[in-house]
């Protein structure tokens, strides 16, 4: 029953609503038919909801247990098979309380019913159905449904119902499935129906008594109740080719190369005996599975059946790699000893002609109600892969695997005699007793055998014929019910003298233990027999032969009237020591001496050198050649020649080697790469023809050096000076030798600044303009005057201008460039700084920077280069001169030129403007241009021009000129008025008088 609301459009597994844990009802879906209507009675939920004011019904369908199959129903989108809800109601005007929902008692849901009154099962054709008594129930309606429809029985009408028990009046059909449910009635008011329960009538197939205290029951999927798949054998195979694929619905493949080259397939099957109510007082006697071939074997195959130990295998979930999804086997394909027993239950051979096969699967751990599993593993000949395909339980009924379980009333097997002893010549008759669970004796035969580790034979009647001595184990089995008994076998009667060998070879220093014995007819050694030993030379103490003389000796071995001659070849004694001659004198390196040696036994007898075994020569100071016995001296010193033979002999000969002829003189310099500040120590060595070294002192006069100074001695000392590769030579006893030493600069003591390849003195000064650039390089110098380029840190210093960009980003390296921007009356200082872990050095140069060449002439006044003024006004000229970096240049060098643009007249007015503090006074009316100009150092005229328009100034005087000398009243006359400004410029003005 569903508790929380849900939306069918959005609900998922993860958002499923919560439901009541109480089951309302149930119905069983059969294996067949696969389609059709399925009904659930929801009366109890409907009555409960209505009684509580809830007019809705919500339910969840959930499987019972963990079935291995799925089922789908049509939903409300299907027009023909959409779900239907049928509501039946009565008018309960009297308010009668509906009875409760009955609970079915017997049989259990899904039960298969048998008549178990005898050990040979039969169908239970008239079972009795029962349920609980329901409060307020005045009657019951029992519904029985099968493939032919439904039959309802009412307790107030039908005699089949007696209280809460229903008994069929007619026999039910064996193998058919029936469903039933019960509804309680209170007067005319019905209660909810019980859950629907299903049962079937068992139909044993070929269940038989075999007449020998064994019964056989045959299991085959669907052979009794097809609609429920009863009985059921679980089977599948696993394959390494499709290692992650489950084959639970496929035919059964077993063999090699079954899923491709170098693949293997194994068959697994299981049977739950408890699906049949076999008599629990019985025991498993034996079991076998019958398999029918679907596709014949492709070659000879041995099929070995092993008991499955693991419970993790499932028909629908297991693969070659995993027992279930995400759970791998410890070893792919299952592990012997962990997942299945190592020892096979049985092995059966098949080939391409095999159409079906029986495999023995019985073992002593099988239980009457147990769930057992087996794995079948194929073995094929090397280089001849083969596989076979059997029908599985998913095929037609006649072709499906069939398991025959044989059970018996035999409970134990006992064997006598117990713990007996016999000799190898005497057989023993064993007998057996079979007993049932109550101790009653059963007269059936057993199968006699010996365990694999035992010897002898035993026949079908239990007569044991011994062979080898020791404890032997007898086994008697009635099917898989077995018992074992031990018997101790002792030797039989002595019949034959034997020895392990009749020929042997030893040395005179050895003894030989004679191995002679007497055996019975089976070869078992018989102790306590007296054996005699008679030698032709030497002696025998006990069984040990002690030789005297070399040669072939005979020991006669005797027992009773039998004798055996043992021939013993005695050879010389063991080598004991070596003697040598030669190589006694002192040997010069590079020369040889001759060595001879002989081998002797403990008595001083000379032996063949080969008797001492191979000799390992351990030689000091030289090389020994065994083939000609020569020792070649190489290294000066005192040594030994050691002889160690594989026979264990050891001998040493002292050898003294002195210096040989001189071959060369060696000068070994303490270093061939030094600085000018360092010394080189020179060790001198005399080397002979074999490389032996002798330290010698070279006189002062025998040294020749290309630079520096040398002091003779051992070692001699050379004081390096100048850089470069220097050769130091020496002579000794007519031998010359030399060594080359690479000298590099020493520790820096001084920094030297270089400009244009000229080394600058300390605190040098340099004059330049802002238009100039200078490259300064640096050299390092050591105490010996060696100079070289080095890297330093560069820094420009100034009281005002400290921007290091004037060094063009070359602030570290062997050179820098100074591109000044600002001229200054104060000196710039360029500083080079060298710094390492031991020393800091500096060098400086002071630089005077003057302004550069004139680049621009500008006028600060006037601001506008177009001027309109009167003759009464003036223009102030304030020129500004700059170089390319904007440095100000003295403006006193500026010249001024005026051009009357109306007349083209040009005049130099430099002194006029300079004397008037830069002011030009306008005077004559007109148009002018005044140019301020300077000629640069490069000879270019650089200028700035101001255009000036000069108009009349203010009139300071006025002249009137009248055209008429006289005038009449009322006439008008023109007067010409002329004004004059302060600079004498005149200009007309008009005026009119009216009198």
pLDDT tens-place string over residues 511-520: 999 999 999 9
If one compares 528 and 958, the residue with the highest pLDDT of the two is 528
Q: For residues 8-14, give the mean pLDDT.
A: 73
Residues 6+ apart with CB under 8 A from 327: 312
If one compares 895 and 387, the residue with the highest pLDDT of the two is 387
Q: What is the pLDDT of residue 238?
A: 97
Name the pairing type of β-strands 161-162 and 165-167: antiparallel
CATH of span 410-490:
2.60.40.1380
Residues 6+ apart with CB under 8 A from 37: none
C-beta separation of 920 from 879 below 8 A: no
Q: What is the pLDDT of residue 489?
A: 96
Q: Which value, in Å, is the radius of gyration of the alpha carbons in the chain?
A: 66
Q: What is the Cα–Cα distance from 344 to 351, expressed in whole angstroms?
A: 20
Task: Give the class (CATH, top level) of 662-744.
Answer: mainly beta
Among 42-51, 76-85, 924-933, 979-988, which range has the highest average pLDDT?
Answer: 924-933
The residues with which 150 forms a beta bridge, in sequence order, are 145
pLDDT tens-place string over residues 324-381: 988 999 999 999 999 999 999 999 999 999 999 999 999 999 999 999 999 999 999 9
Cis peptide, bond prior to residue 411, ω within 30 of zero: no
Cα-Cα-Cα-Cα dihedral sign, residues 761, 765, 767, 768: positive
The closest of 182, 192, 184, 194 to 44, measured between CA atoms, is 192
Superfamily holding 43-51+72-201: Immunoglobulins (2.60.40.10)
Q: What is the Cα–Cα distance from 273 to 323, expressed in whole angstroms?
A: 23
If one compares 2 and 192, the residue with the highest pLDDT of the two is 192
The closest of 661, 706, 667 to 684, measured between CA atoms, is 667
992 pLDDT more than 50: no
Lowest mean pLDDT across 465-469, 506-510, 769-773: 506-510
Q: Which fold has domain 496-571?
A: Immunoglobulin-like (2.60.40)
Secondary structure of residue 337 in the 3-state scheme: coil
Q: For residues 919-932, give the mean pLDDT.
A: 90
CB-facing half-sphere around the CA of 908: CA atoms within 13 A: 5
Q: For the chain, how long is the longest CA-to-CA vector?
A: 213
Four-point Cα dihedral 675, 678, 684, 687, nearest 10: -30
Residues 6+ apart with CB under 8 A from 229: 31, 221, 222
Q: What is the Cα–Cα distance from 622 to 690, expressed in whole angstroms?
A: 10
Which of 500-523 are b and which e, b meaning 16 or more Cβ less than 10 Å from the residue's Cβ? eeeebeeebebebebebbbbbebe
Q: What is the pLDDT of residue 596?
A: 92
Question: Do the domains 750-850 and 854-951 sit in the same CATH topology, yes or no?
Answer: yes
Q: What is the pLDDT of residue 959?
A: 80
Q: HEC states along 17-84?
A: CCECCCCCCCCCCCCCCCCCCCCCCCHHHHHHHHHCCCCCCCCCCCCCCCCCCCCCCCCCCCCCCCCC
For domain 854-951, give its CATH number from 2.60.40.10, 3.40.640.10, 3.30.9.10, 3.40.50.720: 2.60.40.10
pLDDT band at 673 (very low <50, low <70, confident <90, very high): very high
Q: What is the Cα–Cα distance from 451 to 473, expressed in whole angstroms?
A: 6
% of the chain with per-residue pLDDT over 70: 92
Burial of 111 (0-12, 13-18, 19+ CB in 10 A): middle
Report the mean per-residue pLDDT for the chain.
89
Secondary structure of residue 141 in the 3-state scheme: strand
36 pLDDT more than 60: yes
Cis peptide, bond prior to residue 33, ω within 30 of zero: yes
1 pLDDT more than 90: no
Burial of 146 (0-12, 13-18, 19+ CB in 10 A): middle
603 pLDDT more than 90: no
32 pLDDT more than 60: no
Cβ atoms within 10 Å, residue 817: 14
69 pLDDT more than 70: no
The closest of 391, 390, 297 to 352, measured between CA atoms, is 297
Q: Which helix (H) or strand (E) holds 585?
A: none
Lowest mean pLDDT across 48-52, 563-567, 728-732: 48-52
C-beta separation of 381 from 300 below 8 A: yes
Q: What is the pLDDT of residue 16?
A: 74
pLDDT band at 676 (very low <50, low <70, confident <90, very high): confident
Q: For residues 280-308, give the mean pLDDT.
A: 97
pLDDT tens-place string over residues 697-730: 999 999 989 888 899 999 999 988 888 898 989 9
Q: For residues 616-622, give the mean pLDDT.
A: 90
Q: What is the Cα–Cα distance from 680 to 668, expressed in whole angstroms?
A: 10
Q: What is the Cα–Cα distance from 980 to 959, expressed in whole angstroms?
A: 8
The residues with which 858 forms a beta bridge, in sequence order, are 880
Q: Report which DSSP code applies to 963.
A: S
If one compares 93 and 287, the residue with the highest pLDDT of the two is 287
Q: What is the pLDDT of residue 852?
A: 85
% of the chain with per-residue pLDDT over 90: 58
Q: Report which DSSP code applies to 609.
A: G
Residues 6+ apart with CB under 8 A from 521: 424, 425, 492, 493, 495
178 pLDDT more than 70: yes
994 pLDDT more than 50: no
Q: What is the Cα–Cα distance from 18 to 6, expressed in whole angstroms?
A: 10
Q: Report which DSSP code applies to 98.
A: P
Written as one string, the DSSP assignment of 657-718 is: EE---EEEEEEEES-SEEETT-EEEEEEEEEETT--EEE-PPPGGGEEESSSEEE-SSSEEE
pLDDT tens-place string over residues 447-470: 999 999 999 999 999 999 999 999
Q: For residues 807-819, give the mean pLDDT.
A: 90
Cα-Cα-Cα-Cα dihedral sign, residues 710, 711, 712, 714: negative
Q: What is the Cα–Cα distance from 244 to 238, expressed in whole angstroms?
A: 9
Cα-Cα-Cα-Cα dihedral sign, residues 151, 152, 155, 156: negative
pLDDT tens-place string over residues 246-283: 999 999 999 999 999 999 999 999 999 999 999 999 99
If one compares 665 and 39, the residue with the highest pLDDT of the two is 665
pLDDT band at 981 (very low <50, low <70, confident <90, very high): confident
Q: What is the pLDDT of residue 5?
A: 66
Q: Where are the domains of the chain?
A: 43-51+72-201, 208-408, 410-490, 496-571, 584-658, 662-744, 750-850, 854-951, 957-994
Task: Give the class (CATH, top level) of 750-850.
Answer: mainly beta
Written as one string, the DSSP assignment of 207-235 is: -EE-SSSEEEEEE-TTSSBGGGTBS-EEE
Q: Which fold has domain 584-658?
A: Immunoglobulin-like (2.60.40)
763 pLDDT more than 90: no
Name the pairing type of β-strands 764-769 and 840-850: parallel
Cis peptide, bond prior to residue 442, ω within 30 of zero: no
C-beta separation of 894 from 932 below 8 A: yes
pLDDT band at 784 (very low <50, low <70, confident <90, very high): confident
Q: What is the pLDDT of residue 27?
A: 61
């Amino acid at each position: 029953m569903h508790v929380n609301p849900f939306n069918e459009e959005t609900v998922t597994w993860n958002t499923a609503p919560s439901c009541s844990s109480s089951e309302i009802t149930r119905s069983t879906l059969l294996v067949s038919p696969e389609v059709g209507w399925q009904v659930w009675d929801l009366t109890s939920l409907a009555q409960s909801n209505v009684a509580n004011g809830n007019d809705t019904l919500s339910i969840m369908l959930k499987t019972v247990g963990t079935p291995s199959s799925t089922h789908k129903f049509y939903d409300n989108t299907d027009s023909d098979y959409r779900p239907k809800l049928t509501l039946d109601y009565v008018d309960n005007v009297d308010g009668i309380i509906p009875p409760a929902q009955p609970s079915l008692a017997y049989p259990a849901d899904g039960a298969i019913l048998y008549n178990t009154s005898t050990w040979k099962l039969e169908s239970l054709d008239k079972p009795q159905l029962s349920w609980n008594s329901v409060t307020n129930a005045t009657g019951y309606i029992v519904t029985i449904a099968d493939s032919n429809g439904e039959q309802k029985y009412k307790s107030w009408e039908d005699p089949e119902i007696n209280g809460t028990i229903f008994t069929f009046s007619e026999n039910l059909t064996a193998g058919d499935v029936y469903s039933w449910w019960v509804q309680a009635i209170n007067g005319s008011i019905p209660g909810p129906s019980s859950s629907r329960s299903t049962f079937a009538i068992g139909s044993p197939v070929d269940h038989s008594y075999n007449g020998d205290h064994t019964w056989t029951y045959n299991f085959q999927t669907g052979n009794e109740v097809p609609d429920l798949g009863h009985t059921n054998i679980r089977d599948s195979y696993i394959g390494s080719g499709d290692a992650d694929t489950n084959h639970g619905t496929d035919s059964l493949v077993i063999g090699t190369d079954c899923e491709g080259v170098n693949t293997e397939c194994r068959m697994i099957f299981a049977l739950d005996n408890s699906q049949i109510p076999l008599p629990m007082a019985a025991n498993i006697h034996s079991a076998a599975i019958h398999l029918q071939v679907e596709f014949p074997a492709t070659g000879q195959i041995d099929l070995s059946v092993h008991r499955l130990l693991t419970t993790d295998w499932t028909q629908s979930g297991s693969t070659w790699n995993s027992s279930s999804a995400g759970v791998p086997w410890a070893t792919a394909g299952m592990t012997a000893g962990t997942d299945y027993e190592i020892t096979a239950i049985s092995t059966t051979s098949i080939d391409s002609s095999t159409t079906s096969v029986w495999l023995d699967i019985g073992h002593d751990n099988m239980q009457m109600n147990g769930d057992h599993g087996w794995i079948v593993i194929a073995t094929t000949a090397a280089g001849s892969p083969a596989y076979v395909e059997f029908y599985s339980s998913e095929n037609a009924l006649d072709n499906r695997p069939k398991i025959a379980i044989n059970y018996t009333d035999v409970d134990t097997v006992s064997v006598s005699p117990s713990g007996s002893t016999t000799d190898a010549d005497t057989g023993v008759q064993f007998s057996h007793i079979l007993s049932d669970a109550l101790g009653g004796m059963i007269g059936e035969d057993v199968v006699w055998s010996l365990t694999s580790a035992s010897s002898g034979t035993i026949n079908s009647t239990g007569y044991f014929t011994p062979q080898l001595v020791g404890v032997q184990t007898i086994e008697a089995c009635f099917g898989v019910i077995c018992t074992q008994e031990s018997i101790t076998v002792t030797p039989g009667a002595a019949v034959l003298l034997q020895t392990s060998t009749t020929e042997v070879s030893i040395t005179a220093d050895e003894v030989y233990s004679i191995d002679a014995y007497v055996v019975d007819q089976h070869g078992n050694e018989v102790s306590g027999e007296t054996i005699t030993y008679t030698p032709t030379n030497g002696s025998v103490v006990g069984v040990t032969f002690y030789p005297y003389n070399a040669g072939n000796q005979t020991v006669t071995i005797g027992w009773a009237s039998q004798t055996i001659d043992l021939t013993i070849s005695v050879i010389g004694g063991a080598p004991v020591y070596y003697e040598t001659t030669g190589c006694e004198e002192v040997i010069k390196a590079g020369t040889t001496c001759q060595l001879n040696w002989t081998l002797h036994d403990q008595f001083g007898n000379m032996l063949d050198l080969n008797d001492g075994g191979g000799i390992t020569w351990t030689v000091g100071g030289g090389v020994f050649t065994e083939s000609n016995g020569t020792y070649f001296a190489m290294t000066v010193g005192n040594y030994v020649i050691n002889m160690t033979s594989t026979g264990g002999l050891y001998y040493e000969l002292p050898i003294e080697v002195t210096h040989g002829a001189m071959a060369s003189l060696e000068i070994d310099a303490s270093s061939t790469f030094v600085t000018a500040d360092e010394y080189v120590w020179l060790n001198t060595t005399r080397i002979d023809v074999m490389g032996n070294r002798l330290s010698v002192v070279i006189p002062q006069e025998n040294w020749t050096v290309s630079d520096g100074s040398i002091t003779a001695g051992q070692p001699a000392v050379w004081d390096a000076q100048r850089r470069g590769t220097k050769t130091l030579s020496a002579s000794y006893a007519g031998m010359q030798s030399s060594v080359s030493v690479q000298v590099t600069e020493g520790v820096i003591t001084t920094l030297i600044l270089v400009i244009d390849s000229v080394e600058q003195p300390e605190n040098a000064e340099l004059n330049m303009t802002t238009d100039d650039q200078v490259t300064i390089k640096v050299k390092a110098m050591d105490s010996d005057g060696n100079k070289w380029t080095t890297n330093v840190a560069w820094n420009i210093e100034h009281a005002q201008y400290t921007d290091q960009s004037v060094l063009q980003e070359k602030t570290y390296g062997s050179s820098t460039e100074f591109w000044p921007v600002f001229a200054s009356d104060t000196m710039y200082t360029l500083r080079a700084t060298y710094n390492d872990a031991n020393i800091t050095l500096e060098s400086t140069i002071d630089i005077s920077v003057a302004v550069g060449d004139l680049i621009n002439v500008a006028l600060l006044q006037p601001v506008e280069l177009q001027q309109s003024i009167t003759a009464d006004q003036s223009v102030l000229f304030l020129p500004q001169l700059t170089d390319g970096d904007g440095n100000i240049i003295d403006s006193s060098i500026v010249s001024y030129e005026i051009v009357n643009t109306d007349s083209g007249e040009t005049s130099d007015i430099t002194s006029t403007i300079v004397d008037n503090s830069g002011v030009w006074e306008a005077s004559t009316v007109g148009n002018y241009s005044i140019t301020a100009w300077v000629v640069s150092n490069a000879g270019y005229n650089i200028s700035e021009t101001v255009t000036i328009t000069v108009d009349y100034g203010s009139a300071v005087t006025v002249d009137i000129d009248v055209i008429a000398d006289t005038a009449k009243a009322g006439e008008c006359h023109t007067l010409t008025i002329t004004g004059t400004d302060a600079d004498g410029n005149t200009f007309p003005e008009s005026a009119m008088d009216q009198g």
